[in-house]
Each structure stands twice: as structure tokens, then as C-alpha cells.
Structure 1
Amino acid sequence: MNKFGFATIVAGGLATAFLGLATPAQAAPAGPGNAQDAISSLDDRGYAVRVQHQGMVKPLDQSSIVSVRYDNDDRVVYVTVR
């Protein structure tokens, strides 16, 4: 096996190990609960929360969070719920 092929295999293995061992960032309060609980928690921390609904609109206590995006400069959190 030539040196280039070996280097490619090693680089691929290292990249896979790095991505496999990386821990996901906690964007919103974790644990059981609904969107209303998480939004209330963010609001209690002093963030202005902007909610965007994805799909059918239903009450926040029956919704789940799809994504959270922070804008720390303005202390605004954009929450997408489903």
C-alpha cells in the first residue's frame, strides 16, 4: 500500500473517531417537558424568546422544540416548535 492510501485511511479513521466522540451541545433546557416549560425557563434567564411554529399550530404545552438559535448580542432566543 502506498503512503497516500495509508494516510487517507488514517485521516478518515481520526475524523470518524473525532465526530463519534463529540458530545452534542445543549441548546435548550434538557429533560422531560414540553415547549412551554423550556420557553419559560429561557424567559426566566432573561432572554427575549421568539417562537416560530413549524407545521400545524397547537398550544405550546402540547408542542415539542425542533430548534433553538441564540443571539447573545441582543439576548434573544429564536425557538422553532412543532
Structure 2
Amino acid sequence: MNKFGFATIIAGGLATGFLGFAAPAQAAPAGPGNAADTISSLDDRGYEVRVSQQGMNKPLDESSIVSVRYDNEDRVVYVTTR
């Protein structure tokens, strides 16, 4: 076997071993609550909250959060609900 083939096998084995020890990604917390609770919590922490809704308009206490985007420079949080 030539040097290139041997080096490729070694590099592949090391990469596989390294990735095997990597911790799995953690999902965002999905605890109980609704959009109104989350928005109230963000407001209590001093953020200006701007809400947009996807799909049919529902009250915030019946809605769920789709996405949250922070603008830390201006202390604004953009929340999308469904």
C-alpha cells in the first residue's frame, strides 16, 4: 500500500474517533407554557418584544412559539407564534 492510502486510512480513523466523542447537540427547552408566558418572561427581563403570527390569528395564551430572534444591541426580541 502506498503512503497516500495509508495516510488516508489513518486520517479517517482519527476523524471517526474524534467525532465519536463529540457530545450530541441539545435541543432548545420545550417546557410547559404558551406564547403569552414566554413573551411576559422576555418583557420582565427588559426586552422590547415584537410579535408576528403565522397562519390563523389566535390569542397568545393559545399560541405556540415558532421562532425567537434576539437583537441584543437594541434589546429587542422578535417572536413568531403559530
- TM-score bucket (shorter structure): 0.7 to 0.9
Distance 1:13 1:57 in 2: 49
Ranges of 4+ aligned residues in structure 1 off by more than 6 Å: none
State the superposition RMSD in angstroms.
2.3
* Structure-to-structure mapping, 1:45-64, within 5 angstroms: 45-64=45-64
Q: Distance in 1 between matches of 2:13 and 2:37?
A: 46
41-50 vs 52-61, which deviates more? 52-61
TM-score by length of 1: 0.75
Gaps of 5+ in 1: none
> Which protein is bigger by CA-based radius of gyration?
2
Q: How many residues align?
A: 78
TM-score under structure 2 length normalisation: 0.75
Percent of aligned pairs with the same residue? 63
